[in-house]
Amino acid sequence: MSDSNNRHLLIAREISGVLSGVDPQRVEALGETILTAQRIFVCGAGRSLLMLKALAMRLMHLGLHSYVVGETITPAIRTGDLLIAGSGSGETRTTLAMVQAAHERGARTAAITAHPQSPIARACDLVVEIPAAIVGVSNQRVSTQPPGSLFEQCLLVLGDGLVLWLMERLGATYEEIRARHTKLE
């Protein structure tokens, strides 16, 4: 096996190891909160935001009303809505400000973070911890990957797993999801 394949397997093992430490009851609680929200908004910064954009897209494919904070067509958040914030460190100032603004407008908030005692996590109604080591925040063994990568990869996989759970709960079919997929390419 080449070194390149070995690196991919190393990454897959790291992801599997971290995700085995995620509390499934917390993920299910997030799923239930999504199902009761009128609209779902996602926010974050950098690669964490990219992973949550993928989740927002899948939520739309499920027929839910989902938005990405900062996009030009995103409406104002209000009571009955849910904001999902992603931040490995849980300390990103702009993300914290968005969580606080959502609370001020009556929305529920959820954080997906590696740091459950962080300012963002403390400001949210629900926290899902992805127990990945974060440079500068954790004394745990740090991933062999570039800083933040393991958290971000786990965030994407956790989101996709959540979508599968939501599909089951909603009785959504692949045909329904495919019908909502972009057809302009």
* pLDDT given at position 163: 97
Please confirm, yes or no, whether 152 is among the known catalytic residues.
Answer: yes
| pTM listed for this prediction | 0.92
* pLDDT given at position 26: 98
Number of alpha carbons in the 13 Å side-chain half-sphere of residue 54? 17
State the total domains in the chain: 1
CATH, residue 97: 3.40.50.10490
Q: Is residue 185 part of a domain?
A: no
Task: Find all residues with CB under 8 Å of 94, minimum gap 6, and list them.
Answer: 45
Q: What mean pLDDT do residues 162-183 have?
A: 91
Q: Is residue 159 part of a domain?
A: yes
Domain, as residue range, for 167? 3-180
pLDDT digits (tens, 9 = 90+) for 122-143: 999 999 999 987 765 555 556 6
| Among 28, 152, 168, 175, the one annotated catalytic | 152
Could you please report the per-residue DSSP string of 103-127?
HHTT-EEEEEES-TTSHHHHHSSEE
